[in-house]
Amino acid sequence: MGKTVIVTGSARGIGRAAAMAFAENGYGVLVNYLHSRDQAEALAGSLRDKGAAALACRADVRDRAQVKRMVETCLSAFGGIDVLINNAGIARQALFTDISEAEWDAMMDVHVKGTFHCSQCVLGHMLEKKAGNIINVSSVWGMTGASCEVHYSTAKAAVIGFTKALAKEVGPSRIRVNCIAPGIIQTEMNGFLTKDETRALIEQTPLQRFGTAGEVARCMLFLASDAADFITGQVLSPNGGFVI
């Protein structure tokens, strides 16, 4: 069997585009979801119809037991895990003074604890075979910070620090760990933006448009490929020049 990828939060948006791109390039794909069962099952079915090996699996990345079951399901179905994409995420806008402790914890749990659980649970398999790729999804706001998104920016910055540290630790075992920090991408997650906000962000982007989920997925494919075999601990930011 060919290579296998787990993409967390892959029923929609960037995760969905990643699942499709990896399937088109011969990977078996585990489509992870939490709430979007119908969309995840439809995506997995569509990938199978196109000749790919695909399976939808519900797991809350915040829950260690559920993540372990997801990893075991992937190993049982596909026989291995070559790539993990930690994509599951949430986004909220709020003044810092209005963020509740529960909202803060929720942001950290999904982005930071989720990345911790998923990475640690797949690493046993990757360390045993001394090969593997982990790709974490951060954001330009994790690089620069964003007003009214302090909790989101903090969580995404933590993902970058996690990436750099883990890359050093597992590099001797030939496991690469990298990070994607997308700019403004046209997805449902950014659907809250007003027309004025959208226009302002486009004006601040030298390429004068938002990115697409497919463009981010192609960056992930590159980082998982042999072409990136000497790249680890890095942050690749497809952002149209928004941050340079």
Query: Does residue 152 carry a catalytic annotation?
Result: yes
CA distances from 190 to 13, 36, 90, 133, 212 (A): 10, 18, 11, 28, 12
AA letter at 87: N
CA distances from 157 to 112, 160, 164, 193, 241 (A): 10, 5, 11, 22, 19
Spatial contact of 110 and 62, defined as CB atoms under 8 Å apart:
yes
**Of 33, 116, 152, 162, which is the active-site residue?**
152
- Could you give the residue numbers annotated as active site? 152
